[in-house]
Amino acid sequence: MARAAAGKHRKSTKFVFVCVGLLGAALITDLLWASSSSSTTFIPYKSSGTMMSWPPPESSSDSFLRNHSARGVTDKDKKDGIHGRILSKTFADLPGPELKWEKMTESPVPRLDGAAVQIKDQLFVFAGYGTIDLVHSHVDIYNFTSNTWGGRFDMPKEMAHSHLGMVTDGRYIYIVTGQYGPQCRGPTAHTFVLDTKTKKWQDMPPLPIPRYAPATQLWRGRLHVMGGSKEDRYTPGVDHWSIAVKDGKVLEKEWQVEMPIPRGGPHRACIVAGDRLYMLGGQEGDFMAKPNSPIFKCSRRNEVVYSDVYMLDDEMNWKVLPPMPKPDSHIEFAWVVVNNSIVIAGGTTDKHPDTKKMILVGEVFQFQLDTLKWSVVGKLPYRVKTTLVGFWDGWLYFTSGQRDRGPDDPTPKKVIGEMWRTKLSLPLS
Ligand SMILES: *[C@@H]1O[C@H](CO)[C@@H](O)[C@H](O)[C@H]1NC(C)=O
Ligand SMILES: *[C@@H]1O[C@H](CO)[C@@H](O)[C@H](O)[C@H]1NC(C)=O
Ligand SMILES: *[C@@H]1O[C@H](CO)[C@@H](O)[C@H](O)[C@H]1NC(C)=O
């Protein structure tokens, strides 16, 4: 389980997707802080609720996605009415109930692309960008009982500052790879384990090859690391490695190569619940360092965001589950498991087809693990990506990330440290 440990919640990692041609659309903007405009009509996804084996039989929506992902959005697509109509549903806000949100104490620092793990009534919040030129190298802790921040401590100097893979067994936090430094710098293969009782760090064997934002989970006694972006920050990796761990100790000398994942890429949610491993959403492609930029200045590239959901169970082959209500990425630490449902807050969806700007997600989604049914259970106070989510005593909390420009502009702007909570009441299945 990734996050959690209070029995009902857990959390975890990230994921990814494969990518391909990036003809066109290598817009060079300076930003992670990109943005845009809004929406249209929503066509609900009809879920059959059934599972398929990987590779799935070709359906029109599968082949649409594949065609779409293989080519990105070209000018020809934009003129193609059908394509445009299908795209438009994905960046619109979906209808959902309003939730009553309460603003709590702000985090000591704002962060984007940080990481978080919940252990009982504590949310350990790691790293992240403060601004595009400044990264954090410490941990802040939020106590859900006292509703206060405290207990700041430093991370090891060699640890990545964003795009980390992270998971806990309830005491030890395993931390793998990620981006080292600000802007769009390179990744490190360094991995660590933190004992949250003693606040002591230990090294683990480095990942065979560094990755950005790989899906990371503990499953059946092994730490699994899957996908992410490759060393250029853009190319989706499909590699899957694992290593046996127990109580903060690594039991093997080397990472083992496991069966590759169906689709590579960063920023996916990866969750273990009921002895099954789930991977949800994510993307192919990401910002890259501008060639020859001495500061590794970020430049925007074509990205394809996915709604795909995959699962591993006893049979040890990837099964395809009903997709998310819309493509959703940047959700690696934006989830909890409550009452046999996965709850996911915010993220990023398909970019705007004309402006190519990044579009944020403002919904809270529920995925019922018994019926495999998706629903929108509420709206966040604003749209936000890479937010860090916890659940305690009936309250759903989120902090950090990058929020939208306002109700009418779903493009990213301010990096936040705000903490919010709402009383969550999931419909019974
Ligand atoms: C996807 O591409 C294939 C081959 O070009 C084509 O036969 C198929 O109709 C396309 N599917 C969709 C949904 O566009
Ligand atoms: C969280 O705060 C409560 C109330 O002040 C306190 O009793 C508890 O020990 C704190 N939790 C941790 C892990 O420090
Ligand atoms: C989970 O289930 C329990 C027991 O039915 C219920 O009291 C609680 O409100 C549920 N939690 C949420 C978040 O819906």
Whole-number pLDDT of residue 75: 42
Q: Which of 59, 64, 67, 74 to mutate to test the pocket of ligand 1 (most atoms within 8 A of CB)?
A: 67
C-alpha distances in angstroms, 104 versus 113, 140, 170, 364, 401? Answer: 21, 15, 25, 19, 15
Other Cβ atoms within 10 Å of 275 Cβ, number: 10
Q: How far is the CA of 154 from the centre of ligand 3 (A)?
A: 37
Whole-number pLDDT of residue 18: 31
Q: Look-up: residue for tokens 């990481």?
A: 115
C-beta 148 within 6 A of ligand 2 = no
Q: Which of 143, 171, 196 to mutate to test the pocket of ligand 2 (most atoms within 8 A of CB)?
A: 143
Contact 350, 90 (CB under 8 A): yes
Pocket residues for ligand 3 (CB within 6 Å)?
A: 338-339, 424-426
Task: Name the closest-CA residue to atom 4, ligand 1.
Answer: 67
Whole-number pLDDT of residue 55: 37
Residue 58 CB-density burial (10 A; 0-12 exposed, 13-18 middle, 19+ buried): exposed
C-alpha distances in angstroms, 305 versus 81, 273, 280, 301, 326? Answer: 20, 24, 11, 13, 9
Residue 199 CB-density burial (10 A; 0-12 exposed, 13-18 middle, 19+ buried): exposed
- Nearest atom within ligand 2 for CA of residue 143: 1
- Nearest atom within ligand 3 for CA of residue 425: 14
The closest of 340, 392, 334 to 362, measured between CA atoms, is 334
How far is the C-alpha of 217 from the C-alpha of 165, rounded, in Å?
A: 8
Whole-number pLDDT of residue 149: 98
Instruction: Tokens for 296, please give them.
Output: 């590794």
- pLDDT tens, position by position, 204-213: 999 999 999 9
Could you tell me the pTM of the whole model?
0.81
What topology is assigned to 102-423 in CATH? Neuraminidase (2.120.10)
Whole-number pLDDT of residue 371: 96
Q: How far is the CA of 177 from the centre of ligand 3 (A)?
A: 36
- pLDDT tens, position by position, 118-169: 999 999 999 999 999 999 999 999 999 999 999 999 999 999 999 999 999 9
Whole-number pLDDT of residue 314: 87
Other Cβ atoms within 10 Å of 325 Cβ, number: 24
C-beta 232 within 6 A of ligand 2 = no
- pLDDT tens, position by position, 222-269: 999 999 999 999 999 999 999 999 999 999 999 999 999 999 999 999
Whole-number pLDDT of residue 355: 83
Instruction: Tokens for 204, please give them.
Output: 């683990």
* Segments making up each domain of the chain, as ranges: 59-88, 102-423
Q: Which residues does the chain have with pLDDT short of 70?
A: 1-90, 429
Whole-number pLDDT of residue 24: 34
